[in-house]
C-alpha cells in the first residue's frame, strides 16, 4: 500500500511539472505560424467588430455562445 501511495504521489508531482516545460516542438510551430505574440485585446459581445479585427489580422474567430 505504501508503494502505491509513493508512486501516486510521485506521479502527481512529476507529471504536471513535465507538462509545464516548454517544448522545442511547440516553439518551432509557433515560429512557423508567426504566432508568438499573444493577443493583447479581446473583443467581447461585439461580433461585427470581432469579425473586422479578425479579417484585418487574417486570423480566425472563436465564438462562444453561453
pLDDT tens per residue across span 29-65: 767 777 656 656 778 888 999 999 999 989 899 888 8
Q: How far apart are CA 34 and CA 48, in angstroms?
A: 25
Residue 42: what are its φ and ψ, rounded to 5°? -115, 150
Flag whether 63 is in a domain: no
* Per-residue pLDDT at 43: 81
| Predicted local distance difference test score (pLDDT) of residue 8 | 75
Q: With respect to residue 48, please indicate whether it lies within any of the assigned structural domains.
A: yes
Give domain status of residue 43, yes or no.
yes
Confidence of residue 14 (pLDDT cuts 50, 70, 90): low
Cell representation of residue 5: 501511495
- The total of structural domains in the chain comes to 1
Supply the range of the domain harboring residue 29: 2-57
Question: Is 62 a domain residue?
Answer: no
Contact 49, 43 (CB under 8 A): yes
47 domain-assigned: yes
Amino acid at each position: 500500500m505504501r508503494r502505491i501511495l509513493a508512486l501516486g504521489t510521485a506521479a502527481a508531482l512529476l507529471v504536471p511539472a513535465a507538462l509545464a516545460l516548454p517544448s522545442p516542438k511547440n516553439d518551432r510551430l509557433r515560429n512557423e505560424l508567426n504566432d508568438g505574440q499573444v493577443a493583447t485585446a479581446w473583443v467581447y459581445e461585439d461580433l461585427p467588430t470581432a469579425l473586422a479585427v479578425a479579417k484585418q489580422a487574417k486570423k480566425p474567430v472563436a465564438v462562444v455562445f453561453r
